[in-house]
């Protein structure tokens, strides 16, 4: 067997090992960020928690900011949330689509509240947090823009409401800041928030049936 064939044969195992290492580092960072805060968590502590060497951590991510970025990208990536999102995009009725979207958003806020707390610290002036805060918003805009495009293609948006404007409205109402204010500060239940989000976005975005 040639060297090339041997390398090709073994690459899936190496890829799995690399992915397992990456996942372990991200999970360790998430735990420590939640317990200690972003600024107080060192790369050495993350490596120790993930049971990898510091050089390995540097080789995989290079910096603490890169780990935080990967953590934010993973938000909403759980299988059940992806399934809910798929159902929202597949739904034919626009009003029901927004109800399903509200359920997805609520689930993400509940599941990833620790990530939201980290990004809330962006106001502290930390440049890493501020950069990832912007990244998070861009992710949300992109996802919600796709849904607004689907609604526009159906002719479901209010007359004269552009996809961009609809995306901005939906993004603002479903932001972690609004969720935090209503659920944490005003003690709404997550279910009440979900119903409010579905009703409000439908009334603001959709033409009358």
**pLDDT tens-digit series, residues 140-158:** 899 999 999 999 999 999 9
Q: Tens digits of per-residue pLDDT, 63-110?
A: 998 998 888 887 767 788 889 999 999 999 999 999 999 999 999 999
Same domain, 20 and 108: no
Domain final residue, candidates 27, 48, 73: 73
CATH number of domain containing 116: 1.10.357
Ordered alpha helix ranges (H), 37-153: 43-50, 54-60, 64-73, 79-90, 94-111, 113-120, 127-153
Same domain, 39 and 107: no
pTM of the predicted model as reported, rounded to 2 decimal places: 0.80
3-state secondary structure of 53: coil
CATH number of domain containing 39: 1.10.357.10
Q: For residue 27, give its domain range.
A: 3-73
Same domain, 111 and 194: yes
Phi/psi of residue 204, nearest 5 degrees: -80, -30
The token pair at 26 is 């991200």
Structural domains counted in the chain = 2
Same domain, 66 and 109: no
Q: 64 with 128: CB under 8 angstroms?
A: yes
Same domain, 91 and 171: yes
| Higher-confidence position of 8 and 52 | 52
Q: Tens digits of per-residue pLDDT, 7-18?
A: 444 578 888 899
CA 68 from centroid of its chain's CA atoms: 12
Same domain, 176 and 98: yes
Angle at 182 between CA 104 and CA 135, to 5 degrees: 55
Same domain, 133 and 174: yes
Same domain, 65 and 86: no
Same domain, 64 and 89: no
Same domain, 122 and 194: yes
Domain final residue, candidates 73, 95, 111: 73
Domain final residue, candidates 73, 99, 123: 73
Same domain, 14 and 83: no
Residue whose C-alpha is closest to residue 29's, from 52, 49, 58: 49
Same domain, 41 and 90: no
């Amino acid at each position: 067997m040639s060297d090339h064939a041997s390398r090709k044969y073994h690459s899936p195992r190496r890829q799995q090992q690399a992915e397992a290492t990456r996942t372990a580092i991200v999970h360790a960072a998430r735990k420590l960020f939640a317990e200690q805060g972003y600024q107080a968590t060192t790369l050495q502590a993350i490596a120790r928690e993930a049971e990898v060497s510091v050089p390995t951590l540097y080789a995989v991510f290079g910096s603490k900011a890169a780990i935080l970025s990967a953590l934010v990208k993973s938000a909403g990536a759980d299988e059940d949330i992806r399934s809910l999102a798929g159902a929202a995009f597949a739904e034919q009725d626009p009003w029901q689509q927004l109800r399903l979207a509200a359920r997805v958003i609520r689930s993400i806020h509940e599941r990833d509240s620790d990530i939201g707390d980290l990004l809330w610290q962006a106001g502290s002036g930390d440049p890493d947090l501020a950069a990832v805060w912007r990244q998070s918003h861009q992710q949300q805009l992109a996802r919600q823009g796709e849904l607004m495009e689907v609604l526009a293609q159906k002719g479901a948006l209010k007359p004269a409401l552009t996809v961009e404007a609809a995306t901005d409205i939906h993004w603002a109402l479903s932001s972690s800041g609004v969720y935090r204010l209503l659920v944490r500060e005003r003690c709404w239940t997550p279910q009440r928030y979900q119903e409010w989000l579905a009703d409000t976005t439908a009334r603001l975005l959709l033409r009358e049936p």
